[in-house]
A = this chain, B = another copy of it.
């Protein structure tokens, strides 16, 4: 039992029972995904890092998808927090705050690749973890509420449905993150940073609605 004595990996082990195996497995999953991509993660390896036998994780997660789903869920919570922070309730002004949210989205994809991968690349079924779907909804809601606020200050005759604005911006941000922030066979070199690309795109879009600069 090489795994039962000293606990090797991240979290300490105090006896036959681990003490906090569930959390330790989630941490291990995050670090494995960060290191080797979502496909490089295995239950067996996570168990090894946590210092338990390969069967132990099944006491806490039905299967690999459930563990990955838990990582994705926490990712959505973190993204929601990051977007909320960036939006800062629309301060100092709605348009720059909106731009800040875009940067926050790309920053999240860049800085938390493991969470991002679990959320968008691992293709975890929505029902893999309870609350996963709603965590995703809450993250989107931040963007949507910001869009409502923005739409409210647009000239009436150009005012678009806020939900549509939110979907457009989310799509562009997500597309840029997927194509240019993360490695991909279709990836190409950009003549600018991903953040600049998104900012320019959003500005052009908002101009059309009478919300930014040269509208």
Number of copies: 2
Could you say which residues of chain B place their CB within 8 Å of the CB of A132? 185
The verdict on A137 contacting chain B, using a C-beta distance below 8 Å, is yes
Could you say which residues of chain B place their CB within 8 Å of the CB of A153? none
Q: Which residue of B lies closest to A72 (CB)?
A: B185
User: Are A119's CB and B205's CB within 8 A?
Assistant: no
* Known A200-B164, A204-B168, A208-B205: A120·B178 in contact at CB below 8 Å: yes
User: Are B167's CB and A126's CB within 8 A?
Assistant: no
The verdict on A82 contacting chain B, using a C-beta distance below 8 Å, is no
- Interface window among A10-18, A19-27, A51-59, A187-195: A187-195
Could you say which residues of chain B place their CB within 8 Å of the CB of A90? none
The verdict on A130 contacting chain B, using a C-beta distance below 8 Å, is no
User: Are A119's CB and B204's CB within 8 A?
Assistant: no
Output the least CB separation between A3 and chain B (Å): 28
Inter-chain CA distance A204–B212, complex, in Å, is 13
User: Are A187's CB and B126's CB within 8 A?
Assistant: yes
Inter-chain CA distance A175–B184, complex, in Å, is 14
The verdict on A140 contacting chain B, using a C-beta distance below 8 Å, is yes
A 157-174 binary contact with B (CB < 8 Å = 1; else 0): 010110110011011111
Give A residues with C-beta under 8 Å from B.
37-39, 69, 72, 76, 119-121, 123-126, 128, 132-133, 136-137, 139-140, 158, 160-161, 163-164, 167-168, 170-176, 178-180, 183-188, 190-192, 197, 200-201, 204-205, 207-209, 214-215
A-B contact pairs, 27 of them (CB 8 A): A69-B185, A119-B185, A119-B186, A120-B178, A120-B184, A120-B186, A121-B121, A121-B123, A123-B183, A124-B185, A126-B185, A128-B185, A132-B185, A136-B188, A137-B188, A140-B186, A160-B204, A161-B191, A167-B190, A167-B197, A171-B172, A171-B179, A171-B180, A171-B201, A172-B175, A178-B178, A208-B215
